[in-house]
Amino acid sequence: MERKELKAISLLLRALLVLIGLACLWQLHLDLYPVRSYYSMMLDPMDPAASVYRRGFVCDLLVCLSVAAVFPGLAVLWSLFRQVGLGRGFYQQKRLRLLAWLAAVETGLLAASDIMMLSFRVDRLGSGFLWGIPSMLDGTMLLYIGLTLGSAALTVVAYALGQSAQKAAALQDENALTV
């Protein structure tokens, strides 16, 4: 592939990363509102629903943390995509390993928020098992489960690519030594 072509692809990928960053910032801004309102409501110990508010606070806080955890991953992806534009080889094992770790943390946070969200919806099962499941797995829930699966897939792929990069780097070092 030509150098110019690679540079254009690298720029396109980084522009998309900037847009994702902006979307995540907006999402974080939207998600912080329920966290603040739950926090102010759960402070009243006389309120009989204080425990529900506390659970809501933890759930929304986990969602906020999972959105915030995207930013370090975006930074690592930025540096990876920058290397694509420079036309260097597959010598990125450290970045890929870091990306795998960050994706694993993201998966954990998303999975925890999924469990919290499901615990809020579990009483919907009372309307009968067959009709309860669709009302429990609503649009928001499905979106979060999908994101968790996607994040888990990214973890495995980044780990596998990191292993390949390590192997390629070892071969390159060996070649450099023998030449």
Partner 1 sequence: MHNRLLSRSLRALVLLGAAMWLYLAADNVYHLVLAARGLAWDASYGTFGRSVRAEAVILLALLPALPILWDMWAIAGQCGTRRGFDDRTALRLRRMGRCALATTTMFALLVWVMLYDRAYRVSEQMNVLQGLYYRLDFYVVAILGLTLVSAIGTTVLFLLSRLAEKAALEQAVNDLTI
Using CB under 8 A, list all residues that contact partner 1: 1, 9, 12-13, 16-17, 19-20, 23-24, 26-27, 30, 84, 134, 137, 139-140, 142-143, 145-146, 149-150, 152-153, 156-157, 159-160, 163
Report the nearest approach of partner 1 to the CB of residue 49 (Å). 23
Nearer to partner 1, 43 or 86 (CB): 86
CB of 4 to partner 1, least distance (A): 14
Complex with partner 1: residue 50 or 141, whichever CB lies closer:
141
DSSP 63-128: HHHHHHTHHHHHHHHHHHHHHHHHT--S--HHHHHHHHHHHHHHHHHHHHHHHHHHHHHGGGGGG-
Among the listed residues 104, 138, 93, 98, the one whose alpha carbon sits nearest the alpha carbon of residue 118 = 138
93-121 vs 50-68: helix axis angle to the nearest 10?
A: 160
Nearer to partner 1, 45 or 112 (CB): 112
